Amino acid sequence: MNAKKFYITTPLYYVNDKPHIGHAYTTLAADVLARHLRSRDIPVYLQTGTDEHGAGVERAALEHGKEPKAWCDRVSSEFRALWRTLNVGYDRFLRTTEPSHEASVQAAFEKLLKSGDIYKGSYEGMYCPSCEVFYDEAELKDGRCPVHNSLAERVSEETYFFRLSKYEKPLLEHYAAHPAFLSPGQRAQELLNFVRSGLKDVSVSRSRVAWGVPVKSAPGHTVYVWFDALLSYATGPGYHPEKPSPDLPGVWPADVHLVGKEIFRFHGVIWPAMLMALGLELPRRVYAHGWWTINGAKMSKTKGNFIRAEDVVRDYGVDALRYFLFREVPFGQDGDFSMEALRRRYNADLANDLGNLFSRIMNMAAKYLDLKLPSKPESSVIFGELSSRTPVIHGAMEDLRFSEALESIWGAIGRLNRLVDERKPWALAKTDPEALKSFLHEMIWCLRLVAGWLDPFMPDTASKMQLQLGVGRSLDGTQPQKVPPLFPRKQDDAPKDPSTN
């Protein structure tokens, strides 16, 4: 039997809006983790996709004069194009409008109806049409949705409820037995408090929304978009409640659901309760990352305050964006995105620290080394010292402490730059050519190490470096070449002094 794959999920993105860097963030995190694990020969299954049902999507399609499905096709393919641009690899791209997913959602709903975990009732409450969520009055701010700040509407409807209350105790037991299930810790506490304060049953059908998976046994009702979308984590790798799912054991349970903090509750409370009700194993971990603001303010399309990943890529390249997002802010925390900060990091960390180091070494190697690169320098002190960072970096990566991994990598880059300054290889060229050669050999091996560490974050840069460093090629045949800068410096576009014109 094949080993179970490490299953990573991103949320399924709503197709009511074009993707921005906030969406890119969760998916890039999944890709970074997947690339890291694969580099250690751990088989990975990464699922992403689009969440295409519900009132929000229906409304967006209408506003654009499109049929919902045609609209979904268009925006879903924009997401797919973005993942190509950002160098994201996935094993499964699930659309909730896929017939096989819809069939599994219908069957799951019926299964829980039969078991009594779903029952019919009626509901009146305050509803935010943008989130498609009912809020308790206490959660609203002046009657407004805490996420969108739009006025919540009082809505009454016949609905089917999922018996979430029944799972309060089992959930608390599960959290206690699996302390890493809800991560990071500071966000977990909020969820624990929420569950301890008592769980109410939740509505899982809509009679007001036509664009959704029809409830089989109740014409006029569609399945609530969250019940539908959450199930995708299991239906993607083949789950159907009434049919054999031969591929599921190779993937399920999910090893980590990566989500933004605002959807932690769905993933940390409702989803595990749904899985308990369906008799499926629970995911190993649900990780809630923070939110990006733009120049200190919430990203909002209506305010025009958002940044498209494509624009950043056009100006700085994919790898600079991938680097910035995971270096600037620790993954679990909120952070602010500004082009200023990006340019600063680009110039300081990428153009100077990494880019200069690489050019300095490669250009000298091109000049002073002959055809052969030597085998691994087992006795090199600096190589040994650098190698000892590998377990630290791996530990940070496994634990999604991406910024710490990058700090450690930059610690190593700084160390190498200082070493070049101290050893002054350009002077050695005149005084001790043999010492120069062995120094450059060591440095090339150190850079190979650095390129390997960088690969999950900056795959294009890592492969450019590796090509020049002869990785994967016969050592004998590799003549180091002069290289163009990895990251050409960007000029500060500080306002010009008019008197100098």
Distances (CA, A) of 355 to 362, 420, 489: 11, 14, 9
When binding is defined by CB under 6 A, the residue of 6, 13, 160, 453 that contacts ligand MSP is 13
441 catalytic? Reply is no
446 catalytic? Reply is no
When binding is defined by CB under 6 A, the residue of 223, 230, 313, 321 that contacts ligand MSP is 230
Smallest distance from ligand MSP to CB 13, Å: 4
Amino acid at the residue 136 = D
Smallest distance from ligand MSP to CB 332, Å: 12
Smallest distance from ligand MSP to CB 499, Å: 41
For ligand MSP, which is the closer residue by CB, 69 or 120?
Answer: 69
Residue at shortest CB range from ligand MSP? 260
178 catalytic? Reply is no
The residues facing 161 across adjacent strands are 119, 203
Residues 402-421 as x/- pattern, contact with ligand MSP by CB under 6 A: --------------------
For ligand MSP, which is the closer residue by CB, 262 or 476?
Answer: 262
Under 8 Å between Cβ of 89 and 258: no
CA-to-CA distance for 28 and 292, rounded, in angstroms?
A: 14
111 catalytic? Reply is no
Q: Does 330 bind ligand MSP (CB under 6 A)?
A: no
List strands edge to edge, sheet with 92-95. Answer: 92-95, 44-51, 6-14, 256-260, 286-289, 182-183
CA-to-CA distance for 249 and 260, rounded, in angstroms?
A: 27
Under 8 Å between Cβ of 222 and 210: yes
Smallest distance from ligand MSP to CB 213, Å: 14
Q: Does 224 bind ligand MSP (CB under 6 A)?
A: no
For ligand MSP, which is the closer residue by CB, 241 or 470?
Answer: 241
Smallest distance from ligand MSP to CB 45, Å: 16
496 catalytic? Reply is no
* Angle, CA 178 vertex, CA 173 and CA 183 arms, to 5°: 115
Q: By CB under 6 A, what part of segment 39-78 binds ligand MSP?
A: 51
Smallest distance from ligand MSP to CB 391, Å: 30
20 catalytic? Reply is yes
For ligand MSP, which is the closer residue by CB, 259 or 400?
Answer: 259
The residue assigned the tokens 């250009």 is: 363
> For residues 106, 112, 115 and 118, what is the CA-based torsion angle, rounded to 10 degrees?
-120
User: CB within 8 A of 417, min separation 6: which ones?
Assistant: 353, 356, 357
Residues 257-296 as x/- pattern, contact with ligand MSP by CB under 6 A: --xx-xx---------------------------xx----
Q: Which range of residues in 22-30, 215-223, 369-377, 464-472 is near ligand MSP by CB under 6 A?
A: 22-30
Q: Which range of residues in 242-250, 256-264, 325-333, 347-355 is near ligand MSP by CB under 6 A?
A: 256-264
Under 8 Å between Cβ of 62 and 124: no
Long-range residue pairs from 392-397, CB within 8 A, at least 24 positions apart, any chain:
393/453, 394/36, 394/40, 397/32, 397/33, 397/36, 397/456
Count of beta carbons in the 10 Å neighbourhood of residue 348: 12
Smallest distance from ligand MSP to CB 482, Å: 41
CA-to-CA distance for 111 and 495, rounded, in angstroms?
A: 65
CA-to-CA distance for 443 and 359, rounded, in angstroms?
A: 12
Under 8 Å between Cβ of 6 and 39: no
267 catalytic? Reply is no
36 catalytic? Reply is no
- Residues belonging to the active site: 20, 23, 128, 131, 145, 148, 298, 301
Residues that bind ligand MSP (CB under 6 A): 11-14, 22-23, 25-26, 51, 229-230, 259-260, 262-263, 291-292, 299
